Amino acid sequence: MIQVRLFAALRERAGRDLLELTLPAGVSTVGELVVWLEDSDTALARAFAATPCRMVAVNEVLATEDTDIVDGDVVALFPPVTGG
């Protein structure tokens, strides 16, 4: 089981902030997970399309879409943020 947490505009566009799911067969990176989510859920596909530039963290550590994921991980997806 993994958790996918969505933040900020991505959360608002998807209409939810948390997904808990069994890691699908053949999905071993964040990028593969995003593609699988897009193919599995129309609302997520629209949210990702509207937020093509996004950041990712795995287990609270900044990561990339090439980062490996395994059962038990928490994947966070969020738009880039700026401070001021």
Residue 81: is its pLDDT beyond 90?
Answer: no
Residue 83 domain flag:
no
pLDDT of 53: 87
How much of the chain, in percent, has pLDDT values that exceed 90? 87
Mean pLDDT of 15-44: 95
Q: How many whole angstroms separate alpha carbon 40 and alpha carbon 36?
A: 6
- The residues that bridge with 29 in the sheet, in sequence order, are 68
Say which residues have a Cβ less than 8 Å from residue 12's Cβ, sequence separation at least 6.
none
Tally of domains in the chain: 1
| pTM as predicted | 0.92
Residue 10 domain flag:
yes
pLDDT of 32: 97
Here the CATH number for the domain that contains residue 60 is 3.10.20.30
pLDDT of 80: 84
Residue 84 domain flag:
no
pLDDT of 60: 96
Angle among Cα 70, 59, 6 to the nearest 5 degrees reads 95
- Residue 10's domain comprises 2-78
Nearest CA to 75 among 45, 54, 50? Answer: 54
Residue 20 domain flag:
yes
Residue 84: is its pLDDT beyond 90?
Answer: no
